[in-house]
Structures are given as structure tokens and as C-alpha cells.
Amino acid sequence: MIEIIPAIDIIDGKCVRLSQGDYNQKKIYNENPLEVAKMFEDHGIHRLHLVDLDGAKASHIVNHKVLEQIATRTALAVDFGGGLKTDSDVYIAFECGAQMITGGSIAVKNPDVFTSWIKTFGPEKIILGADVKDKMIAVNGWQEETKVELFDFVKGYMNKSLNKVICTDISKDGMLQGPAIGLYKEMLDRFPYLYLIASGGVSSLDDIIALEEADVPAVIFGKAIYEGRISMKDLKRFL
């Protein structure tokens, strides 16, 4: 059974979504992220992907108060990402109630620091964020493309005991045009023991079913719920 992980993206303390990571294509869905998180919990959701988009842009944690609110006032297991660049950022995230943290840009630009987090907190608490465009990694809220190839990137960290990867195809994210199933199949062919979390492009229940049929372990999505393309009732079958 595929794990269902709704996403809440935060700008200025509000629940928003971007299209293809473009901060100029921002849509506010709710002024109160806690309200959204409680709605998910009330419908049987157990896990939440919380992204600090202000933090991603500022390169340090910004919306930790929102994290703390959700972590202390719901029973959701929150994985938190966005702008985590220093040990201090990560300690703040865990102190505010994150059960896991996601690192993307830091894993590319400062692998020694990211590797130290794996050793300090354990691989079960650290998720590798692999944001890709044409199989190349992008960083800093997708504003900067690198010359780091996806499969090499993932393999390098699997060799350091990391097993959970959120892979987002930037071209799909927020576009409601379907996920990158071919890419995910290729990843799982190469890394059959990877706990791959698909992210980006989910537009309907059929997309989630297709990911499950492709043996993808987990999926993150947001816009499809906020736009009414998927109802919480639809998700009952996966919970």
C-alpha cells in the first residue's frame, strides 16, 4: 500500500502552492496551516510534508513556529524541509517537533555537513531531497541547476546508509499533469531497496493508483487536494 503524504508549503505563515517552484506563481490556499493540518488528521492522514518556502529562499529556517504549532497540536508525523543549512537549523526543526528533516541543496553543496546529520541523528530521521530537471539536480528552491546527476547523487548517499529519498520532477510540480512515473520506475530498477517518495504532478486519484502499481512506496501531493481534483474521501482506500 502506497504511503499518502499531503504537503503544506509555507510562505509568510500561510499555506500556498507554487507552480514549477516559481515564487511569482504563488497561490494562497489557507491563511492558517494548522487548520489544514488538522483537516488532514481528521481524515485519517498520519504523515505530513511541511516545506518552509521562505526558508528555502533565505537559506535558513524561517517558519519554525508553524512547524511547532502543527507538531504540538496534531499527532501528525511531520517531515520538514526548506532552508536547512546549518546544525542550528536542524536542531531548531527537531526541537519544534519535526520527526524527520529533508535536505536537498545542503546535500549537494555541503555534503560533509549533510553526512554529519545522518551520523548524528540517524538515517531514519534524514531524508534526501532530490529535485530534478532532465535527471540533473537543482538547488536553492529550484532556482539553480547543477551538474550533479540524479542517480550518482542517490547512490552516493545510499552508500552512507540513507534510504529515504523525495524525488521531485520540477517540470511536473504544481502543474497537475501527472507524475514522472517513468523516472521513478527507472530509479527503483536501479535501487530496488530505496524508499522512494514521489513528488510533483499528481493531478488525480488515477495518478496515485499508477504510482502504487509502479511499486513506488510513497507519494507527496498538495495542489490536487487544494484544487479539489482529489477528495479526502478518495484517499480512504489508501489509509
Question: Residues with catalytic annotation?
Answer: 9, 131
E strand or H helix at 132: strand 126-133
For residue 57, the number of C-alpha atoms closer than 13 Å in the C-beta half-sphere is 12
Torsion of CA 175, 213, 230, 97, to 10 degrees: -90
Which candidate, 116, 112, 121, places its Cα nearest to that of 93? 121
| 78 within 8 A of 99, measured Cβ to Cβ | yes
**CA separation, residue 30 to residues 61, 134, 144, 189 (Å):** 21, 32, 28, 39
Q: Which grid cell sits at 164?
A: 529515504
Which candidate, 27, 29, 45, 26, places its Cα nearest to that of 37? 45
Burial class of residue 193 in the structure, from the number of CB atoms within 10 Å of its CB (0-12 exposed, 13-18 middle, 19+ buried): exposed
Q: What are phi and psi of 66, to 5 degrees?
A: -65, -45
Alpha helical stretches, state H, the chain: 33-42, 53-58, 64-73, 87-95, 105-109, 111-121, 150-158, 181-190, 205-213, 223-226
